[in-house]
Copies of this chain bind each other. A is one copy, B any other.
Amino acid sequence: MRALGLLALAGVAAIGAAAPGAANARGDPGLEARVQRLEDVAAIGRLLTDYGRFVDARDWKAFANLYAEDGGTWSGGFGTAVGRTAIYEMMMKAMGPTPGPNYHVMSNFEIDVDGDTAKAWSRWTFVSGAPDGKPAILYGGRYQDTLVRENGQWKFKRRDVVSDVSGPPPQR
């Protein structure tokens, strides 16, 4: 009976450990919380990649939707825009509606999740074709992001775009 009682308590502990977000008596996160963190990092990684994909496609509507509905902010070489409408308009003006022979390499993702907010750091490299020769890297640098889970989806709360290597003046 003693053993049975102990097992019973062990059973309660095990169920506790499996509950979403539950922490056990040692303070470790439960398995579901660990899976959730992996999923969050993957979802934020996808957000970082979508950014490059939508820029390269000049799909500014999809691009603007990557930002938080509540005050999502883009800040970089074109200025600072707050809110999806302002972001859409700034990018449309800065880069136009038509894709060109160029693209972004998105790399070096570092993502730190803390509940429903997160921070990210990553690198960008802008590769452009040239009519008369080899493709070249025109610009490159890093992104510094604050992210927020909004209605179950990760969004940019603020993205700061920093240039680390200088190139010729920006061109459309």
Contact = CB atoms under 8 A, between A and B. Distances in A.
Interface of A: 2, 4-15, 17-18, 24, 31-32, 34-35, 38-39, 41-42, 46, 49-50, 52-53, 56, 101-110, 121, 123, 125, 127-129, 133-142, 164-168
Nearest to A36: B34
Contact of A137 (B4, B17, B137): B137
Give 7 closest A-B pairs by Cβ, nearest first. A11-B11, A129-B165, A14-B14, A7-B8, A135-B165, A7-B11, A8-B8
A53 B17 CA distance: 36
A8 to B, nearest CB: 4
A18 B17 CA distance: 9
